[in-house]
């Protein structure tokens, strides 16, 4: 077709396709286009979309049907779109309008276009049927021209402006129909899904409303007939009336049953009330077990389960003896303020703290429950959650009572020193009421909101490091310290407890495997260095696995003595090293306490030419750094007494405490640092068999320290034969096992000068002369 010139009328929020009749509000530019068309006598304009990033490639030639005003008074024109046209270059023309060259597009209709048109008509009819637009359906059925059918999509409300512009700029009828079919199918699928969701929601609401009305009618009918409430509520009321619970608890239970009877089954509160009622009714309010009154038998049970640990065994037997005498005299035994006991077993790992709780329960004839507190950081774990929270539960204490099935069990609070605190509260603070015999007879859990009497519960807490327990909580517990085992203890435990257990686990009989006491002593002395016996049990298990393998391959019997250990479990892991470490001046052997028990600590000092000063390494805490400063100040102030050349203090002094990767703190290495510095300054090595512990002051006084028993056990394990301890710690020696005091000579000192005189090798010995010569 020929190219013609037409004024352009741009539209923004509308896309006009051929066959459409549309009213358009006339702004200044649109009015100019209408006037230009009318003045030219052609009465036609090119209607094109206004695009932000480019000029449109296609528009539609439209005839001006009428010019007038909308009902609101705005100027308007009614245009009838006739044919799609491709826009060419701009040209000049009369008036203020923009004129362009346009070339009308010939619509090529193929046989496939007719097939696509029929498919599209079916989809359009389906869409219109959903909207019940029956008159429009008749018009669609009357269309036969595929191009006309495709361009009728300009009226479709479900197509966006962008998609309609895409149709305008698609001259190929087949492509246009294919695109429309795809879009219409998408729209139908979305409409069907939306309708399905709407129907489901509507049906659900109707069902809920119907059930509510029926339930109200049923309640009214029951009331008229004089019948009772539903079976579930009656069941709870009967259970509450039959339950053996305190009167205050019964009153609270009946209040909740009343709420349950008034609540709808659809109310979420109904589930909360039922759960609370079940929890309270399941608690053993008046159930207690009868304590064993045979003190001798109870002690026999404790001795059969554990070697040593005399102090804690004595405390349990004392508790049982007092309760037995009160029962004989008819005094109140069960419940009441302060009638329970709270014991804290503190000591290094592997000494039997956790297993002791179960033995105590067996000795008393009580139920046993273990509550693991390690890593607990939420206060609600102890006191429970408020009932308003979804999934609320009572705290671990209430759950332990429920699990035990009695109100006087033995509850083991394991790893109480590992409790943490964060934004959810401090569980250790929540334990203050639980572990106070003067308060826990009215313990109130947040979930129950009822007074629970815990006064008859025997609480046994365990901890590795007492210093990590808050002082207020520690004050409420009776501290019993388990400091570890001596070498003789370990041999006895291995012989009587560990070996039979490992023989059973390895399926080996005592006739097939024997091990001598000498081999067990070697295991305790040079294969392990621990306060407890866990590692020793692992080594026995390893030896028995090797033995089982040999028995399975033809051996009839295996007798293990000390020389056989290397073949079974490898070479010794620990050998005495104090002699080697202290062979040079400037190294002293100290004693320390860690979370794993007592240990040996070497203090090393060296001096070199350079700027005077003190360097400290070994991951030392502030208190230990201050101890080093105090030690250097004391040596400097008493240089003449100690025989130290003043020129020594002009050197760069370095104090190191291996192992460097282990953090260390505390004041008890004070006298060790004084001894190491004096040894370095005088060239007199420290005697290899000597260890020491004690805090030092600036004037040389030796102050007391803690953990003396654990430190002396560590000294024995390390092969030391002499130990210097503070004079004020002398009463603590009563707790040290006799065999330790026989193998280690303990010197009690009040002045650090006495330590230096006793710990350093005499002047003029080979070691000192060698150093002086160097």
Reference 11, options 156, 165, 242, 131; nearest CA is 165
**What angle is formed at CA 218 by the lines to CA 217 and CA 224, rounded to 5 degrees?**
90
- CATH 3.30.230.10 residue spans of the chain: 578-773
Q: How far apart (Å, rounded) are the C-alpha atoms in residues 422 and 379?
A: 9
Question: Any known ligand binding at 595?
Answer: no
CB 63 within 8 A of CB 82: yes
Question: Any known ligand binding at 563?
Answer: no
SS3 letters across 519-585: HHHHHHHHHCCCCCCHHHHHHHHHHHHHHHHHHHCCCCCEEECHHHHHHHHCCCCCCCCHHHHCCCC
Question: Any known ligand binding at 351?
Answer: yes
Question: Any known ligand binding at 682?
Answer: no
- CATH 1.10.8.60 residue spans of the chain: 487-569
Q: What is residue 228's predicted lDDT score, i.e. its pLDDT? A: 54
Intervals of the chain under pLDDT 50:
230-231, 333-335, 338, 766-774
Q: In terms of CATH architecture, what is 578-773? A: 2-Layer Sandwich (3.30)
- CATH 2.30.130.40 residue spans of the chain: 4-104
Q: What is the DSSP secondary-structure string of 665-734?
A: --STTHHHHHHHHHHHHHT-PBPTTEEE--EE-TT-BEEP-S-HHHHHHHHHHTT--EEEEEGGGGGGGG
- CATH 3.40.50.300 residue spans of the chain: 295-481
Q: What is residue 773's predicted lDDT score, i.e. its pLDDT? A: 37
Question: Any known ligand binding at 347?
Answer: yes
Q: How far apart (Å, rounded) are the C-alpha atoms in residues 615 and 380?
A: 48
Q: In terms of CATH architecture, what is 295-481? A: 3-Layer(aba) Sandwich (3.40)
Please name the residue that has the structure tokens 């005077």. 612
Q: What is residue 766's predicted lDDT score, i.e. its pLDDT? A: 46
Alpha carbons within 13 angstroms on the beta-carbon side of residue 327 total: 13
Q: What is the CATH number of domain 4-104?
A: 2.30.130.40
Q: What are the pLDDT digits (tens) for 348-393?
A: 888 888 888 888 888 888 889 988 888 787 777 888 888 778 778 8
Q: What are the pLDDT digits (tens) for 528-583?
A: 877 788 888 888 998 888 888 888 887 778 888 888 888 888 888 776 666 667 77
Paired tokens of 169: 């700029």
Question: Any known ligand binding at 350?
Answer: yes
Question: Any known ligand binding at 349?
Answer: yes
Alpha carbons within 13 angstroms on the beta-carbon side of residue 379 total: 14
Q: How far apart (Å, rounded) are the C-alpha atoms in residues 679 and 700?
A: 16
Q: What is the DSSP secondary-structure string of 77-128?
A: EEEEEEEEEEEEEEE--SSSS-EEEEEEPP----HHHHHHHHHHHHHHHHHH
Q: How far apart (Å, rounded) are the C-alpha atoms in residues 446 and 382?
A: 9
Q: What is the CATH number of domain 487-569?
A: 1.10.8.60
Q: What are phi and psi of 583, to 5 degrees?
A: -70, -15
Catalytic residues: 668, 711
Q: What is residue 247's predicted lDDT score, i.e. its pLDDT? A: 86
């Amino acid at each position: 077709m020929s190219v013609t010139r037409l004024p352009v009328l741009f539209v923004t929020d509308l896309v006009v396709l051929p066959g459409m009749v549309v009213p358009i509000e006339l702004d200044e530019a649109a009015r100019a286009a209408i006037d230009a068309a009318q003045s030219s006598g052609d009465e036609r304009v090119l209607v094109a979309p206004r695009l932000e990033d480019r000029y449109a490639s296609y528009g539609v030639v439209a005839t001006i049907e009428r010019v007038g005003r909308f009902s609101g008074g705005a100027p308007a024109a009614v245009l009838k779109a006739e044919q799609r046209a491709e826009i060419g270059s701009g040209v000049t023309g009369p008036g203020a309008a923009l004129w362009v060259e346009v070339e009308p597009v010939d619509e090529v209709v193929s046989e496939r276009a007719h097939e696509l048109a029929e498919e599209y008509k079916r989809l359009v009819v389906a869409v219109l049927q959903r909207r019940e637009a029956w008159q429009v359906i008749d018009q669609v059925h009357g269309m036969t021209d595929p191009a006309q059918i495709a361009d009728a999509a300009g009226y479709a409300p479900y197509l966006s402006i962008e998609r309609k512009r895409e149709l305008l700029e698609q001259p190929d009828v087949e492509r246009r129909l294919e695109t429309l079919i795809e879009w219409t199918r998408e729209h139908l699928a979305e409409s069907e899904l939306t309708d399905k969701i709407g129907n489901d929601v509507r049906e659900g609401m109707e069902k809920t409303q119907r059930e509510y009305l029926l339930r109200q009618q049923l309640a009214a009918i029951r009331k008229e007939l004089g019948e009772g409430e539903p079976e579930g509520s009656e069941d709870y009321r009967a259970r509450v009336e039959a339950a053996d619970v305190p009167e205050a608890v019964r009153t609270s239970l009946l209040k909740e049953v009343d709420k349950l009877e008034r609540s709808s089954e659809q109310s979420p509160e109904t589930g909360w009330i039922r759960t609370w009622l079940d929890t309270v009714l399941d608690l053993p309010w008046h159930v207690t077990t009868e304590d064993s009154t045979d003190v001798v038998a109870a002690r026999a049970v404790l001795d059969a389960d554990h070697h040593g640990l005399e102090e804690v065994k004595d405390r349990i037997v004392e508790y049982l003896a007092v309760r037995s005498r009160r029962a004989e005299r008819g005094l109140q035994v069960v419940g009441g303020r302060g009638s329970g006991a709270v014991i804290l077993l503190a000591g290094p790992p592997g000494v039997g703290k956790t297993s002791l709780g179960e033995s105590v329960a067996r000795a008393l004839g009580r139920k046993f429950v273990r509550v693991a507190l390690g890593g607990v950081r939420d206060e609600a774990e102890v006191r429970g959650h408020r009932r308003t929270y979804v999934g609320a539960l009572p705290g671990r204490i209430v759950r332990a009572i429920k699990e035990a099935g009695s109100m006087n069990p033995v509850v083991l609070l394991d790893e109480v020193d590992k409790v943490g605190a964060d934004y959810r509260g401090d569980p250790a603070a929540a334990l203050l009421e639980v572990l106070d015999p003067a308060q826990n007879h009215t313990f109130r859990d947040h979930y129950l909101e009822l007074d629970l009497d815990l006064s008859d519960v025997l609480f046994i807490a365990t901890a590795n490091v007492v210093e990590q327990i808050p002082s207020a909580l520690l004050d409420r517990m009776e501290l019993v310290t388990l400091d570890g085992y001596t070498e003789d203890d370990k041999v006895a435990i291995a012989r009587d407890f560990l070996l039979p257990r490992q023989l059973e686990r390895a399926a080996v009989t005592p006739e097939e495997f024997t091990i001598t006491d000498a081999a067990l002593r070697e295991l305790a002395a040079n294969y392990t260095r621990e306060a407890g016996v866990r590692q020793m049990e692992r080594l026995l298990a390893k030896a028995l696995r090797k033995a089982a393998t040999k028995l399975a391959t033809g051996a009839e019997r295996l007798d293990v003595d000390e020389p056989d250990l290397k073949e079974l479990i490898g070479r010794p892991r620990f050998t005495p090293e104090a002699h080697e470490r202290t062979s040079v001046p400037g190294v002293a052997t100290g004693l320390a306490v860690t979370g794993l028990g007592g240990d040996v600590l070497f203090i090393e000092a060296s001096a070199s030419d350079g700027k005077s000063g003190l360097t400290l390494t070994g991951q030392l805490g502030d208190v230990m750094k201050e101890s080093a400063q105090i030690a250097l100040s004391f040596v400097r102030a008493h240089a003449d007494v100690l025989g130290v050349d003043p020129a020594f203090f002009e050197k760069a002094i370095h104090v190191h405490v291996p192992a460097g990767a282990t953090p260390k703190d505390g004041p008890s290495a004070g006298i060790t640092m004084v001894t190491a510095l004096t040894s370095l300054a005088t060239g007199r090595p420290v005697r290899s068999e000597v260890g020491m512990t004690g805090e030092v002051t600036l004037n040389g006084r030796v102050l007391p320290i803690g953990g003396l028993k654990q430190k002396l056990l560590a000294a024995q394990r390390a092969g030391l034969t002499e130990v210097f301890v503070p004079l004020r710690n002398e009463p603590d020696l009563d707790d040290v096992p006799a065999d330790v005091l026989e193998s280690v000579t303990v010197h009690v000192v009040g002045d650090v000068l006495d330590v230096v005189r006793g710990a350093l090798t005499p002047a003029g010995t080979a070691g000192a002369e060698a150093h002086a010569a160097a």
